[in-house]
Structure formats: structure tokens, C-alpha cells
Amino acid sequence: MNRLISPRRIVGSLLGLEFRRVRKQVLHTLGGALAAVGVVALAGFDSSAVGFIAVAVGLSFVGMSAMHVLKDKLDGTMEFLAGLPATPPSLALARCAAASGLTALGAIFVTAACGIVLPPLLDTPALRVVIVAYPLVWFSSSAASWLLIGLTMRYTVTRLASIGLLVPFVVLFGVLWVFDRLFGSPLDVVTDLVARDSGPAILASAILLSSALVMAAAFRLTRDGIARYRPEPDKVDW
């Protein structure tokens, strides 16, 4: 009779597995980033170009875990994982924890870009920007990564192929567009808010609260997706 494996053991084992699986992808991403920065430096571009590259590299870590969930569905690995004698919450926690580990690395690049671009705009020392920005960037990027995992896990490959994983980004840009029409440029609003005495605390609280709500919803999507997972015979025909 199979007994459930302890959540701690499952999470630890799957975390190690997830990190081993993405090791080459991470190294390739870092190598590409270094090469791009080298080209930009030799071409004589200003620091904003380096900041753009850093943001692009950092954001690439957000979708890595979701891509591996999709790959698991396509090659049948998900059927093995779903069949382990472990609870869906344990499996979901392992997936999400691995995603947060990746976004912790990606957040370094985005934070570096913040340290390059924001100090002149906010008239704030770069070190202060970096110290404040890193946890906020990590938390919010983890929330985005968890959401992509949840959507990928909850819906079938056929459904994902039809609606696409671009939906969260379309919604995000839609929200930014509406915000711009109602209140003005998001960057200008944030700059004005940070200039106030209580502004940074309000902004940080808003980011942390919204990220926590997204993470809670995403974890539930991931857990339910694992619990309801069924093999898809036609998963590679689309």
C-alpha cells in the first residue's frame, strides 16, 4: 500500500530536480546576457541600453518554470509527477518554490537596471534604490511566474494553444493603458508618489499586497490543476 511521501521530502526532491533541469537554460541565458552587454559596451551605447538588456534577461526567468510545465505535459512527464504518492499542494509548492528560486536570480538583473535608470529620475542614491527594489521586484516577479504556472497547469494544452499564454500580458498592458488614460503615465505617477514622505511605503505595500493576492490565486490554480490532471492523448497534435 502506497503511503504519502512527506511534503518536506517531496518539495526538497522536486526543487532539486527543477533546478537541475533549468541549469543549462540558465547558463545559456546568462551567457547571452554577457554577450549582449559586451556588444552594447563596444558599440558605445549609453547605460539605458544596458538597463534594457538587464530587464529583458530578468523577465526571461519569469516564464521558465511555466515553459517546463508545458514541456512536462507534452512529453508525458506530468503523468509521472501527478502519479507520485504526494498531495497536490506539496507538488504545487515545489513548482512554485522552484519558480521563486529562478525569479530571485532574475530579480538581480531587473534590480540592477533600476539602479542604473531610477536614481537620476528619483534623485535617490543607487544603493538605496537597489535595497528597496530587489525584494519588491522578486516578490512581484514570483507572483507573475506563479500565475503563468497556474494557468499552464490548470488548463489543457489544447486550451492553452487556443487562448494562449499571452492573455496575462494582454491584461497587464490593458490595465496600464487604462491607468495611463485615467491618471497619466505610470512612471510619472510612481515618481510623484515616491517623492512624497509616505509615498515609498504606500507603493511598496501596494506591490506586496497585490502580489500576495496573485500568488494565492496562482497557487490554487496550480494545486487544482495537479489534482484534476488527466493525460491528453492528442496533446502533441496541435
The model's confidence at residue 166, banded by pLDDT at 50, 70 and 90, is low
| Mean predicted lDDT score pLDDT of the chain | 78
Q: Please state which of the ranges 5-19, 65-79, 116-130, 209-223 shows the lowest mean pLDDT.
A: 5-19
According to the model, what pLDDT value does residue 167 have?
Answer: 64
Question: What are the grid coordinates assigned to 157, written together?
Answer: 494544452
The H or E element containing residue 125 is none
Distance between CA atoms of 116 and 138, rounded to whole angstroms? 17
Cα dihedral sign for 210, 216, 221, 222?
positive
Distance between CA atoms of 103 and 108, rounded to whole angstroms? 9
The model's confidence at residue 4, banded by pLDDT at 50, 70 and 90, is low
Distance between CA atoms of 213 and 216, rounded to whole angstroms? 5
Q: Is the pLDDT confidence value at 165 over 60? A: no
The model's confidence at residue 174, banded by pLDDT at 50, 70 and 90, is confident
Greater model confidence, 55 or 231: 55
According to the model, what pLDDT value does residue 218 have?
Answer: 93
Please state the pTM of the whole predicted model.
0.77
Cβ atoms < 10 Å from Cβ of 191: 15
> 9 and 15 in contact (C-beta within 8 Å)?
no
